């Protein structure tokens, strides 16, 4: 599966959801346990009411039997007073029975009331547990909404980051293309200039060889002189200037160079020759000026 750039956010989101689900399950378990403990305690107390009621009714029955026992204390008291076979005796028995029944009824009614109260407490405990569960669910819902907001912000930030990353990549590619194009153009210009320089050097070498031959032929016809001897060079009109033998040789070479074809190219070469010799100190500045004037350079 291709990467989208959001894998780490997806993992984080899944982890957060898992933690929230675990938290909800834990809270529900705690709430249910607490609710069940309360219900169980109320149920035990309710059962105790039944036991106490049974115990009480049995005690009332025992007391009633003792009171109506023909050989009991009450019967002996009536015999001693002479009321054992009288209407008082029968009325007394009726009253004892009625009191017994009333006590039983009151006990059972009280038991039912208490049990009803416990049933209400049990229902309230369950309701409270449900409310707690609902509150926990609401809190979880809020946390999930917050999680969605955080995820949205993270995805939006990542989207902007990826967009900027793509823009930077495009800009880098464009820069590289421009750089490669410039390098290619420079290389082509360099190769072209190198080729032109090679042609120019070749032409200059040919011209230089011609000038050497011309200078050599003129040297044969002239008398040999020492290196520091002087010759006459025509500067302008009929004026002449005494120069060194080096300037004379340069004059002879340029004269032969300018007498050949490609006079424009040869003039440039002649200028460069004069500049070079003057820069090296082979000829003086005055000699260079005289050569420029003489050849109209």
pLDDT digits (tens, 9 = 90+) for 117-174: 999 999 999 999 998 888 888 888 888 878 888 888 888 887 787 788 888 888 888 8
210 and 94 within one domain: no
Whether the CB-CB separation of 125 and 42 falls below 8 Å is answered with yes
Task: Answer yes or no: is 137 within a domain.
Answer: yes
Distance between CA atoms of residues 233 and 247, nearest Å: 9
Pairing of strands 240-244, 230-234: antiparallel
Same-domain status, 152 and 216: no
Phi, psi (rounded to 5 degrees) for 232: -95, 130
Residue 31, in any domain of the structure = yes
Mean pLDDT of the chain: 79
Q: Confirm whether 171 is domain-assigned.
A: no
Instruction: List the Cα angle 57/61/62 in 5-degree steps.
Output: 115
Q: How far apart are CA 171 and CA 168, in angstroms?
A: 5
Give CA–CA dist 265/145, Å, rounded. Answer: 86
Residue with tokens 């115990």: 55
53 with 111: CB under 8 angstroms? yes
Q: Which of 125, 156, 187 is the last residue of a domain?
A: 156
Q: Domain check: are 36 and 119 in the same one?
A: yes
Domain final position from 156, 176, 196: 156
Within-domain flag for 164 = no
The structure's pTM equals 0.43
With respect to residue 186, please indicate whether it lies within any of the assigned structural domains: no
Q: Is residue 167 part of a domain?
A: no
Residues 117 and 256 in one domain: no
- HSE-up of residue 169 (Cα within 13 Å, Cβ side): 6
Q: Which helix (H) or strand (E) holds 214?
A: helix 87-221
Q: Do 219 and 286 share a domain, yes or no?
A: yes
CA dihedral 79, 81, 82, 85 (to 10 degrees): -60
Q: Is residue 189 part of a domain?
A: no
Closest Cα partner for 94 from 67, 130, 132?
Answer: 67
Residues 56 and 138 in one domain: yes
E strand or H helix at 204, and its extent? helix 87-221
139 found inside a domain: yes
Q: Are residues 111 and 223 in the same domain?
A: no
The residue with tokens 């050569």 is 291
Q: Are 283 and 244 in contact (CB under 8 A)?
A: yes
**SS3 for 242-253, per residue?**
EEEHHHHHHHHH
Element (H, E) at 240: strand 240-244
Among 124, 156, 188, identify where a domain stops.
156
Which domain range does residue 125 map to? Answer: 9-156
> Tens of pLDDT along 187-242?
888 888 878 777 777 766 766 665 565 556 555 544 433 344 445 555 444 556 67
Nearest alpha-carbon partner for 253 in 233, 236, 239, 238: 233
81 in the same domain as 14:
yes
Q: What is the pLDDT of residues 65-76, one digit of tens each?
A: 887 765 655 555
Q: Which residues pair with 231 in a beta bridge?
A: 243
- In this structure, the answer to whether residues 275 and 148 fall within a common structural domain is no
pLDDT at 221: 43
Span 173-178, mean pLDDT? 87
Cα separations in angstroms, 64 against 54, 98, 99: 15, 10, 9
Number of structural domains found in the chain: 2
Would you say 20 and 140 are in contact if contact means Cβ atoms under 8 Å apart?
A: yes
Asked if 92 and 220 sit in the same domain, the reply is no
pLDDT value of position 67: 79
């Amino acid at each position: 599966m291709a990467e989208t750039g959001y894998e780490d956010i997806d993992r984080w989101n899944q982890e957060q959801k898992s933690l929230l689900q675990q938290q909800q399950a834990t809270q529900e378990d705690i709430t249910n346990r607490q609710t069940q403990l309360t219900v169980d305690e109320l149920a035990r107390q309710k059962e105790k009411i039944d036991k106490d009621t049974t115990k009480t009714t049995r005690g009332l029955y025992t007391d009633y039997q003792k009171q109506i026992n023909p050989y009991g204390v009450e019967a002996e008291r009536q015999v001693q007073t002479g009321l054992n076979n009288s209407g008082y005796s029968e009325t007394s028995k009726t009253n004892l029975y009625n009191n017994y029944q009333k006590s039983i009824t009151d006990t059972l009614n009280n038991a039912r009331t208490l049990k009803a109260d416990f049933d209400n407490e049990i229902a309230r405990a369950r309701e409270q547990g449900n409310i707690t569960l609902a509150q926990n669910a609401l809190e979880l819902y809020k946390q999930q909404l917050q999680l969605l907001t955080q995820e949205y912000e993270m995805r939006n930030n990542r989207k902007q980051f990826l967009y900027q990353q793509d823009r930077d990549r495009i800009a880098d590619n464009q820069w590289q293309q421009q750089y490669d194009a410039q390098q290619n153009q420079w290389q082509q210009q360099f190769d072209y200039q190198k080729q032109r320089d090679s042609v120019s050097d070749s032409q200059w070498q040919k011209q230089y060889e011609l000038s050497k031959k011309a200078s050599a032929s003129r040297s044969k016809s002239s008398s040999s002189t020492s290196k520091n001897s002087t010759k006459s060079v025509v500067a302008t009109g009929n004026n002449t200037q005494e120069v060194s033998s080096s300037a004379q040789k340069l004059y002879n070479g340029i004269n032969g160079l300018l007498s050949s074809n490609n006079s424009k190219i040869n003039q440039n070469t002649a200028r460069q020759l004069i500049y070079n010799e003057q820069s090296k100190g082979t000829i003086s500045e005055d000699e260079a000026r005289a050569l420029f004037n003489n050849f109209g350079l």
